[in-house]
């Protein structure tokens, strides 16, 4: 719950080592006087380092173990642990980005991408949205990706997995509207992060701090249907429209031309990061 000056009191980051997720947390801590942060993820050492950095700024920090690959009941219980106290903002920044899948992704890797990006992450969104709805306030920030708009030939598995995630997040936004809680679906293009470090850079690429600034601004928007999706950069909305409307044959031909041009400025996975995030370029930053 915000205090008398409108400052946020408690923020939870699901994906505590995500580059984009941390950028968002750092931004709201700096601009909104956050008193407490919860970092959740599977990299204990990385979480502890992040906790030490935030503690040095005067913020109270706790760490919770969370792995998207665990059974649904275990994942949901971990999210409930994170949200056991009233929470103002929950940032979901967990994602897995395979490298170029124009030539196909191995079955095991494809299954892992869906397990992390769609199934496990979906359970987290459901659990977090339910808790925020029950408490009657709070914002769930879901780091999706422009890749979710259409699964392209050059990022088929990742795009399809993010499409499922994105659809669930938008549905939850409709479900909780009017309860006092809300959901923001963040769709970045390519974001420079540890998750995209081995991928070629795409046009309109941004830094995690750019995503954080966009999310920070969106937190002040009135909750209405047209304000659910946050594009980063804003011009990515027009790019996504073109991707959505382009005939399949033309889209495949464009992907082949990019693949055959070694000098082309492109990335090989369509992520965001959306990391975290995502992607959300994908993800959302590094996978926790």
So which residues are the catalytic ones? 158
List CB contacts of 225: < 8 A, sequence separation 6 or more.
Answer: 173, 174, 177
Distance, CA of 266 to CA of 177 (rounded, Å): 38
Distance, CA of 100 to CA of 152 (rounded, Å): 11
DSSP, residue by residue, 184-249: EEEEES-B-STTTTTSPPPTT-B-HHHHHHHHHHHTTS---GGGSEEEESTTHHHHHHHHHHS-HH
Distance, CA of 104 to CA of 153 (rounded, Å): 9
**Angle at alpha carbon of residue 124, lines to 122 and 129, rounded to 5°:** 100
Distance, CA of 40 to CA of 274 (rounded, Å): 17
Tokens of residue 226, six digits: 């047209």
Per-residue HEC secondary structure of 134-151 comes to: HHCCEEEEEECCHHHHCC
Report which of 100, 89, 82, 102 is spatially closest to residue 41, judged by C-alpha positions.
Answer: 82
């Amino acid at each position: 719950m915000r205090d008398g000056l409108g400052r946020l009191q408690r923020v939870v980051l699901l994906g505590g080592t995500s580059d984009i997720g941390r950028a968002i947390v750092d931004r709201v801590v700096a601009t909104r006087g956050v008193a407490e942060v919860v970092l959740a993820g599977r990299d204990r050492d990385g979480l502890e380092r992040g906790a030490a950095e935030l503690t040095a700024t005067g913020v109270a920090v706790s760490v919770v173990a969370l792995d998207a690959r665990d059974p649904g009941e275990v994942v949901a219980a971990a999210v409930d642990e994170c949200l056991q106290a009233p929470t103002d903002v929950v940032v979901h920044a967990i994602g897995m980005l395979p490298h170029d899948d124009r030539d196909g992704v191995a079955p095991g890797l494809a299954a892992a991408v869906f397990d992390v990006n769609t199934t496990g992450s979906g359970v987290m969104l459901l659990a977090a949205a339910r808790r925020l709805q029950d408490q009657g306030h709070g914002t769930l920030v879901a780091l999706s990706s422009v890749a979710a708009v259409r699964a392209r030939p050059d990022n088929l598995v990742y795009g399809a997995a993010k499409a499922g995630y994105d659809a669930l997040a938008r549905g939850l936004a409709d479900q909780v509207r009017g309860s006092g809680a809300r959901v923001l679906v963040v769709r970045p293009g390519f974001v420079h992060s540890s998750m995209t470090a081995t991928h070629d850079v795409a046009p309109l690429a941004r830094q995690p701090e750019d995503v954080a600034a966009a999310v920070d601004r969106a937190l002040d928007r009135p909750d209405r249907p047209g304000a659910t999706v946050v594009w980063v950069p804003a011009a990515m909305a027009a790019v996504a429209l073109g991707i959505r409307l382009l005939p399949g044959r033309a889209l495949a031909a464009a992907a082949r031309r990019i693949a055959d041009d070694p000098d082309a400025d492109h990335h090989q996975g369509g992520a965001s990061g959306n990391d975290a995030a995502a992607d959300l370029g994908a993800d959302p930053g590094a996978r926790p």
